[in-house]
Amino acid sequence: MTSPAASSPHLHSLNLQLIGVGFRAYVMTRTYSPDDCPLPHETSRYLRPTDQGGAQLKLLMLKVGTSALTAYPIPADVDIYCPTDQQQQADNQPLLLTSVNKQHLSQVAAEIRSYKKADPYKGSGIYLCDRVETDQGETYVAHTLPRKEIKK
């Protein structure tokens, strides 16, 4: 006999923190009607079915040091939650990535981090971070690289 904990999937999560001047992220949703839906074999890992028979595509829009926005299609088995208002993004609230598949979640986090590699001189980039609860509230500690001394 299986226990109830063994039958229910365990949800894994990762936090990604955008560190840099003007770095922003938000999730955009595009809904397709059943007639308008793109070919399923091309985008099947990114489309989520809707109640009306259509499909939904979610994109993570990143502004990380380039002149244009970067659109990352979010796979169907991964959910990304972004801080919504400007104040939370200015306070470096991290993105929360959740999924049942831990290996796929780590792969998605690595793909997002590849859009802005960590700069060893400025310290800016996209970092994995840990959520730490203290008596004063919750804080996020980023996994940073050692910074290099500025060349003179």
Instruction: Give the chain's end-to-end CA distance (angstroms, integer).
Output: 68
Q: Of 112, 129, 114, whose CA–CA distance to 14 is shortest? A: 129
pLDDT recorded at residue 118: 82
The domains found in the chain, sorted by start residue, are 4-142 (3.90.930.12)
pLDDT tens digits along 95-139: 889 999 999 999 999 999 999 888 888 888 888 887 777 777 666
- Strand, coil or helix: what is 102? helix
Whether 76 has a pLDDT exceeding 70, the answer reads: yes
Greater pLDDT, 89 or 141? 141
d(Cα 117, Cα 121) in Å, to the nearest integer? 12
Q: What is the pLDDT of residues 29-68, one digit of tens each?
A: 888 776 766 655 556 777 877 777 778 888 999 988 888 8
What is the pLDDT, as a whole number, of residue 1? 43
- With a cut of 50, say whether residue 3 has pLDDT above it: no
Query: In this structure, are residues 113 and 15 in contact, taking their beta carbons and an 8 Å threshold?
Result: no
